[in-house]
C-alpha cells in the first residue's frame, strides 16, 4: 500500500487551497444536477505529490476510477488467488477524499491472465470461473463503489459480438450471467455495460442498446451504459449528435455516463488544435448536460503527463485538459463553460506543481492575463494584455485567450 510522508501531506495541504480558487469541474457538474465529474488514475502515479494534490482536489474531481488495478490480471493472477492491494490503495484514497469510486472492470477480453485465456473450458466450468471472480471482487468492494463496469468492450465495430474466450465458450449469455452475479454480490451498486465508439448512431451503438435489452430480457438488473468517448480533435461528433445518441440509450430506462473521455491530437499541439480541442470537449460535456439520464463524466486521467495515448497511438497525444506540467489547457475552460459555470470560466486559474497565477475578470483590473487566461470577448471586463511571451488570440466573439 502507498503511504505518504508527513512532508508530502503538508505539500498537498498547501497546494489544495490554491487549486480550489475557481468553482471547479465537479462543483459545477453537481450544481447543474449531475452526480459527479471525475478522473481515472493509476497506482504508479500516486508517488507524485503534486499529481496527488490535484487528484484529491474535490472541487474538480468528485469521483475516481482505478485505471488498471481492479482488472482481472491485477486481482486474480492465479485461479482463485485474489489480491486487492493496488485496488485498495485507490479505493482508500477516494474514501479519504470523500470521492465516489467507479469500479472498473469485471469481465473483459483483455488483460486476462494466461490461466484464463489458455484454459480448457466448458460452458459450465467457465461460467463458474467468471461468477467466482465477479462474486469475490464485488463482495470485497461492496459498499465502496458507486458503479461497476460489469462487461467491458463486448462488441466489434460492426456490432457483432467480440470473439473473446467468454463469447466463444458461453455465448451471448455470458453478459446477463455476469450482470446477475454482480447484482447478487452487491444489490445496491450501479451496474454498467461499457464500450467505445458507441457515442454516435450506427451498428455498434445499436448493438450496445441490444445488450441492454438482452440483459433486461433475462430479468437481470442493468443500470447504465458507459460511453468511453476516446475522441480525436476535429473529429468529435457534434453535441446534437451525441445528445441524440444518449437519448436513445436513456429511452431504455437506463442511465448513461461518459466514462473515459479524452480527445487526442496529432503532435505537436498548436493554438488552433488546443482551441478546437476545447470546443470538442465542450460538445461532449454539453451533450451530457442536455441529457437528464447522463449522471456524470470521467476523463481518462487529467494530465497529459500520465495519458495512455502516446504509447497507444504513436505521434498523437496532448489528450487531457491539463498539460505535462499539470497546467490547465483551454479544454478546461471549455469543459467548465459547458457545465454551465460561466463565471468561473472567465476567471482562469493557471496551476503548476508549486505556483498559481489567477487573472481576475473584475472590472477595472490592471493585471495581465496569464498563459491560457482570457483576455477578451463580448462583455469581458478583465485584463486585455497577456503575460510576456503570449499573445491575446481570438477564439470566438465571446472568448479570446493568451496563447
The residues assigned a catalytic role are 260
70 class by beta-carbon count within 10 Å (0-12 exposed, 13-18 middle, 19+ buried): buried
Backbone angles phi, psi at 247, to 5 degrees: -65, -30
- For residue 291, how far is the Cα from the chain centroid? 17
> What's the CA gap between 366 and 298, in Å, rounded?
37
**DSSP letter at 43?**
G
Query: What sign has the CA pseudo-torsion 57, 62, 65, 66?
Result: positive
CA-nearest of 68, 49, 34 to 285 is 34
CB atoms closer than 10 angstroms to residue 388: 7
Q: How far is CA 113 from CA 108, 117, 120, 145, in A?
A: 11, 7, 14, 24
Helix ranges, 56-106 (H): 72-75, 85-97
* Strand 190-195 versus strand 230-232 pairing type: unpaired
> What's the CA gap between 15 and 303, in Å, rounded?
17
Cell of 71: 482488472
Helix 239-250 with 271-289: angle, nearest 10 deg: 30
Q: Which residue has the cell 441492454?
A: 212
Cell of 297: 463524466
CB atoms closer than 10 angstroms to residue 246: 24
Amino acid at each position: 500500500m502507498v503511504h505518504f510522508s508527513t512532508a508530502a501531506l503538508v505539500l498537498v495541504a498547501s497546494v489544495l487551497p490554491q487549486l480550489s480558487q475557481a468553482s471547479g469541474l465537479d462543483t459545477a457538474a453537481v450544481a447543474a444536477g449531475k452526480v459527479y465529474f471525475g478522473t481515472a488514475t493509476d497506482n504508479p502515479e500516486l508517488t507524485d505529490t503534486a499529481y496527488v494534490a490535484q487528484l484529491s482536489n474535490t472541487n474538480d474531481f468528485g469521483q475516481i476510477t482505478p485505471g488498471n488495478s481492479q482488472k482481472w490480471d491485477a486481482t486474480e493472477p492465479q485461479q482463485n488467488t485474489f489480491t486487492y492491494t493496488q485496488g485498495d490503495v485507490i479505493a482508500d484514497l477516494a474514501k479519504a477524499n470523500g470521492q465516489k469510486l467507479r469500479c472498473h472492470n469485471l469481465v473483459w477480453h483483455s488483460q486476462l491472465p494466461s490461466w484464463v485465456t489458455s484454459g480448457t473450458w466448458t460452458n459450465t466450468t467457465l461460467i463458474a470461473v467468471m461468477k467466482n471472480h465477479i462474486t469475490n471482487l464485488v463482495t470485497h468492494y461492496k459498499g465502496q463503489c458507486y458503479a461497476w463496469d460489469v462487461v467491458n468492450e463486448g462488441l466489434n465495430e460492426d456490432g457483432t459480438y467480440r470473439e473473446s474466450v467468454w463469447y466463444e465458450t458461453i455465448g451471448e449469455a455470458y453478459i446477463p450471467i455476469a450482470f446477475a452475479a454482480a447484482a447478487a454480490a452487491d444489490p445496491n451498486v450501479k451496474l454498467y455495460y461499457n464500450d467505445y465508439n458507441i457515442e454516435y448512431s450506427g451498428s455498434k451503438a445499436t448493438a450496445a442498446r441490444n445488450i441492454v435489452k438482452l440483459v433486461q430480457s433475462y430479468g437481470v438488473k442493468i443500470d447504465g451504459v458507459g460511453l468511453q468517448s476516446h475522441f480525436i480533435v476535429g473529429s468529435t461528433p457534434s453535441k446534437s449528435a451525441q445528445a441524440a445518441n444518449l437519448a436513445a440509450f436513456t429511452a431504455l430506462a437506463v442511465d448513461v455516463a461518459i466514462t473515459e473521455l479524452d480527445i487526442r491530437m496529432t503532435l505537436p499541439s498548436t493554438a488552433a488544435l488546443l482551441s478546437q480541442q476545447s470546443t470538442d470537449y465542450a460538445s461532449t460535456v454539453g451533450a451530457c448536460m442536455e441529457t437528464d439520464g447522463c449522471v456524470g463524466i470521467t476523463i481518462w486521467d487529467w494530465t497529459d503527463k500520465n495519458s495512455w495515448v502516446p504509447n497507444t497511438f504513436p505521434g498523437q497525444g496532448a489528450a487531457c485538459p491539463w498539460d505535462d506540467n499539470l497546467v490547465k489547457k483551454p479544454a478546461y475552460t471549455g469543459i467548465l463553460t459547458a457545465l454551465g459555470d460561466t463565471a468561473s470560466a472567465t476567471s482562469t486559474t493557471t496551476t503548476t506543481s508549486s505556483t498559481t497565477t489567477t487573472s481576475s475578470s473584475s472590472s477595472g483590473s490592471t493585471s495581465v492575463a496569464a498563459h491560457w487566461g482570457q483576455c477578451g470577448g463580448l462583455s469581458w471586463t478583465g485584463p486585455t494584455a497577456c503575460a510576456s511571451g503570449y499573445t491575446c488570440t481570438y477564439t470566438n466573439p465571446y472568448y479570446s485567450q493568451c496563447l
